[in-house]
């Protein structure tokens, strides 16, 4: 492994003093001006303020945490990691306060990465944490055994990271995707072959669905065949694709103008929720389950601090709220416990929320659309290093598709 560059968060350290505390806890409402407050028939649902099913458990005091905007969040076992524009990686743990309150406290002093942290990804199977940086590098830490590495290759900020079959996949604002492998468990991470040039431009997110790597970008979505590492096709868009989420064998994509589209595994568009009401942007997105109704929801973080939640699969708007006024939401993290989730914004704000009981269910929301997960009618179906994902037949994306499918 390479020589230490910054402190490894998984290395042993003296027990630190708890840092932070205070803030808003114990029932501060969401709320906020505008956005059709209390309008049950709003296309983005009612505003969820005090007394609603959504409780604001805690808001980070301005004297605590990042000195600049928060770009990304990740769960590493029972800790929350936040990466910021200030070049710091913070590690938080949740603490129950006397009387039922809740707050996040720093688990240890922040780790200075010297560059804005633009993406985070933790692979629980291998216990590696990958931190994408503004300068194109990836700082990697392994929890067991405690080692670290620095992956160098991208020329601009690393915007998306995932791991598939032991291969690290990274996408960058330089318009390329790089694959990283280790010949042995003791080896350093090495770039596999040449970078993949993305036809749809600067990369914003990377996800794997079936035998395809989906790459969200400035000018649409491109899919690469994992067996050949060649692009299968591109779904063009006039608006930047901001996020990708795999759900029940479909790929959900959000766009900068507020649109949400769903595609099947072969690239056919099966559903469109157009920009509506005041939901006119998408900055980040998260899927989570409602703790009482056991119903999946999608949370769409937007500009100016707003979030809109929709029930799936019918996309019925559950409601909207404000995290911090005028602070664009950059990350939403499902804690996967008790309906808790965390939001983070460009003003450095971090807020803990919890879904709870509501006497009459979702307030009279606008009529729902048809399920986007129902089977769609009809449908249609340079030299590169060998794929590190192994052989196999090429599935899907064969032939041309009408109605929003992959264009070849």
3-state secondary structure the chain: CCCCCCCCCCCCCCCCCCEECCCEEEEECCCCCCCCCCCCCCCCCCECCCCCCEEEEEECCCCCCCCCCEEEEEEECCEEEEEECCCEEEEEEEEECCCCCEEEEECCCCEECCCCEEEEEEECCCCEEEEEECCCCEEEEECCCCEEEEECCCCCCEEEEEEECCEEEEEECCCEEEEEECCCCCCCCEECCCCEECCCCCEEEEEEECCEEEEEECCEEEEEECCCCCEEEEEECCCCEEEEEEECCEEEEEECCCCEEEECCCCCEEEEECCECCECCCCEEEEEECCCCCCEEEEEECHHHEEEEEECCCCEEEEEEECCCCCCEEEEEECCCCCEEEEEECCCCEEEEEECCCCCCCCCCCCCCCCCCCCCCCCCCCCCCCCCCCCCCCCCCCCCCCCCCCEC
Q: Whole-number mean pLDDT of the chain?
A: 84
Determine the distance from the C-alpha atom of residue 46 to the mean position of all C-alpha atoms in its chain, rounded to a whole number: 25
What is the percent of the chain where pLDDT is above 70? Answer: 77
pLDDT at 8: 63
Tell me the C-alpha distance between 121 and 141, whole Å.
Answer: 11
Q: Mean pLDDT throughout 364-368?
A: 41
Size of the chain in residues: 408
Tell me the C-alpha distance between 111 and 276, whole Å.
Answer: 41
Tokens of 207: 């996800």
Tell me the C-alpha distance between 298 and 96, whole Å.
Answer: 27
Side by side, the strands of the sheet bearing 231-236 are 203-209, 212-217, 220-225, 231-236
pLDDT band at 30 (very low <50, low <70, confident <90, very high): very low
pLDDT band at 14 (very low <50, low <70, confident <90, very high): very low
Q: Residue 38 above 60 pLDDT?
A: no
> What digits encode the pLDDT tens for the residues 262-297?
999 999 999 999 999 889 999 999 999 999 999 999
Strand 260-263 vs strand 250-255: parallel, antiparallel, or unpaired?
Answer: antiparallel
pLDDT at 361: 41
- Tell me the pTM: 0.82
Q: Is residue 38 packed enough to be buried (19+ CB in 10 Å), middle (13-18) or exposed (0-12)? A: exposed
- Between 148 and 15, name the one with better pLDDT: 148
């Amino acid at each position: 492994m390479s020589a230490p560059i910054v402190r490894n968060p998984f290395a042993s350290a003296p027990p630190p003093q708890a840092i932070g505390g205070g803030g808003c806890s114990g029932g501060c409402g969401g709320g906020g001006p505008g956005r059709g407050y209390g309008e049950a028939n709003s296309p983005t649902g009612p505003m969820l303020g005090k007394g609603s099913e959504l409780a604001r458990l805690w808001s980070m005091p301005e004297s605590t945490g990042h000195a600049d905007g928060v770009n990304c969040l990740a769960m590493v076992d029972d800790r929350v990691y936040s990466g910021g524009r200030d070049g710091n990686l913070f590690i938080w743990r949740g603490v129950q306060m006397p009387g039922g309150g809740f707050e996040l406290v720093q688990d240890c002093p922040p780790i200075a990465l010297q560059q804005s942290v633009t993406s985070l990804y933790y692979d629980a199977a291998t216990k590696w944490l990958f931190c994408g940086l503004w300068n194109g590098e990836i700082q990697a830490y392994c929890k067991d055994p405690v080692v670290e590495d620095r992956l160098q290759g991208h020329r601009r900020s690393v915007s998306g990271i995932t791991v598939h079959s032991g291969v690290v996949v990274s996408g960058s604002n330089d318009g390329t995707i790089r694959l990283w492998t280790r010949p042995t468990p003791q080896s350093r991470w090495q770039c596999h072959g040449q970078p993949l040039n993305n036809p749809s431009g600067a990369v914003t997110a990377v996800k794997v669905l079936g035998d395809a790597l989906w790459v969200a970008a400035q000018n649409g979505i491109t899919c690469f065949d994992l067996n050949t590492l060649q692009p299968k096709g591109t779904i063009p868009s006039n608006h930047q694709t901001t996020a990708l989420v795999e759900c029940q064998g479909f790929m959900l994509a959000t766009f900068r103008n507020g649109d949400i589209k769903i595609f099947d595994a072969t690239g056919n568009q099966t559903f469109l929720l157009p920009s509506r009401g005041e939901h006119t942007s998408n900055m980040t997105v998260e899927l989570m389950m409602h703790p009482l109704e056991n119903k999946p929801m999608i949370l769409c973080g937007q500009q100016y601090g707003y979030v809109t939640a929709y029930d799936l699969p019918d996309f019925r708007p559950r409601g909207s709220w404000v995290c911090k006024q005028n602070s664009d939401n950059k990350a939403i993290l499902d804690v996967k416990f008790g309906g808790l989730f965390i939001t983070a914004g460009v003003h450095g704000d971090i807020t803990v929320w919890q879904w709870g009981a509501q006497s009459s269910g979702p307030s009279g929301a606008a009529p729902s659309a048809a399920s986007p997960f129902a089977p769609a009618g009809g449908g249609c179906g340079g030299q590169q290093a060998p794929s590190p994902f192994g052989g196999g037949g090429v599935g899907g994306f064969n032939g041309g598709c009408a109605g929003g499918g992959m264009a070849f």
